[in-house]
């Protein structure tokens, strides 16, 4: 597994990481047995995948708890990113006074004395610039050794630029994929400030795995898509079919497109089973041809940018 620098932390992370939303999450995804989840984390480590992304609200705290169990005795081999803003009890609150307790509860669930990074979890735009005390609290936690770096998880280049220009954050997690390329405009500036970039939702919530069609219907978290959006996404899959071949699945190609951006530190596709884990890791065995990257960028600029696909 190729490793990339994690901003200015001095750490290096696997360029393909482990998205932990599914661990212990029986509300948004199909149930996963605890033993299977722990085994999956162990195999990820054995295969060189050592970046793990989680949050207190993933599985109502179960994602962090399962990671903690799985990494017992292996903590030094892993880099862990968690978040603040969405609580394990289902509450949402971004007041700076809540940060310390949230982080300390995460540390307990993760069975660790520190986490490598903590991010404000999709906060309101007005909380990004630090005027409400969030980064002061996070800086205190950093000085105490409870966290190494901090930043925010956001959805757009506009939010990235707000962080880049008005704060000293060291990590930004952002949505970015073939169907949603707007944040790329801020990547170079983030790199110049030595800010680590984590890419979330790299498969467009499953669409870029190539398994959905116009006839697909969804439940759970994916029920948000209208029939019109489903049709638009299905049509786009037909236009990007050239990125896959007998040796490269659509998933592998979608991840390689993201990794073609050198500013990215790591990409965090979700993992629900061993087959997905192996396929995600296989994306690192090759690279996307430059011509394919250019064609996908043109498709975004000429057509997708103004389609309003949502997420």
Q: Apex CA 237: angle with CA 236 and CA 242, to 5°? A: 110
Q: Which two tokens stand for residue 39?
A: 């085994």
Beta bridge partners of 175: 200
Say which of 58, 94, 135, 212 is annotated catalytic: 58
Comparing CA positions, the residue from 138, 170, 134, 172 lying closest to residue 153 is: 172
Is the CA virtual torsion 17, 4, 109, 120 positive or negative?
negative
DSSP assignment letter at 105: H
Strand ranges for the chain from DSSP E: 3-5, 12-14, 18-19, 51-53, 79-84, 115-121, 147-154, 171-175, 196-200, 266-267
3-state class (DSSP) for residue 86 = strand
> How far apart, in whole angstroms, are the C-alpha atoms of residue 52 and residue 37?
13
> Catalytic: 58?
yes
Using DSSP's 3-state secondary structure scheme, residue 89 falls into coil
Among residues 88, 107, 195, the alpha carbon closest in space to that of 146 is found at 107
State the catalytic residues: 58
């Amino acid at each position: 597994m190729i490793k990339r620098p994690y901003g200015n932390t001095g750490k290096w992370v696997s360029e393909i990481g482990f998205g932990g939303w599914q661990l212990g999450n029986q509300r948004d995804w199909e149930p996963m047995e605890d033993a299977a989840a722990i085994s999956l984390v162990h195999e990820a480590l054995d295969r060189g995948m050592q970046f793990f992304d989680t949050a207190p609200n993933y599985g109502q705290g179960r994602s962090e708890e399962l990671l903690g169990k799985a990494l017992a005795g292996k903590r030094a081999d892993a880099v862990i990113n968690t978040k603040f803003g969405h609580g394990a009890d289902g509450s949402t609150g971004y007041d700076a006074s809540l940060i310390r307790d949230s982080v300390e509860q995460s540390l307990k669930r993760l069975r660790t004395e520190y986490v490598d990074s903590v991010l404000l979890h999709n906060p309101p735009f007005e909380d990004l610039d630090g005027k409400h005390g969030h980064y002061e609290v996070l800086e205190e936690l950093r000085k105490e050794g409870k966290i190494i770096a901090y930043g925010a998880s956001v959805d757009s280049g506009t939010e990235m630029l707000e962080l880049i220009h008005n704060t000293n954050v060291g990590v930004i997690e952002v949505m970015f994929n073939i169907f949603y390329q707007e944040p790329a405009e801020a990547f170079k500036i983030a790199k110049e400030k030595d800010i680590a970039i984590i890419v979330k939702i790299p498969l467009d919530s499953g669409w870029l795995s190539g398994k959905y069609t116009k006839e697909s219907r969804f439940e759970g978290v994916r029920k948000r898509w209208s029939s019109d959006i489903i049709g638009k996404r299905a049509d786009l899959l037909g236009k990007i079919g050239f990125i896959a071949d007998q040796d490269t699945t659509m998933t592998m190609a979608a991840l390689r497109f993201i990794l073609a951006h050198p500013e990215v530190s790591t990409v965090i596709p979700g993992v629900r089973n061993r087959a997905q884990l192996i396929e995600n890791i296989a994306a690192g065995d090759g690279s996307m041809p430059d011509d394919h990257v250019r064609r996908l960028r043109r498709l975004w600029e000429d057509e997708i940018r103004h389609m309003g696909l949502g997420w």
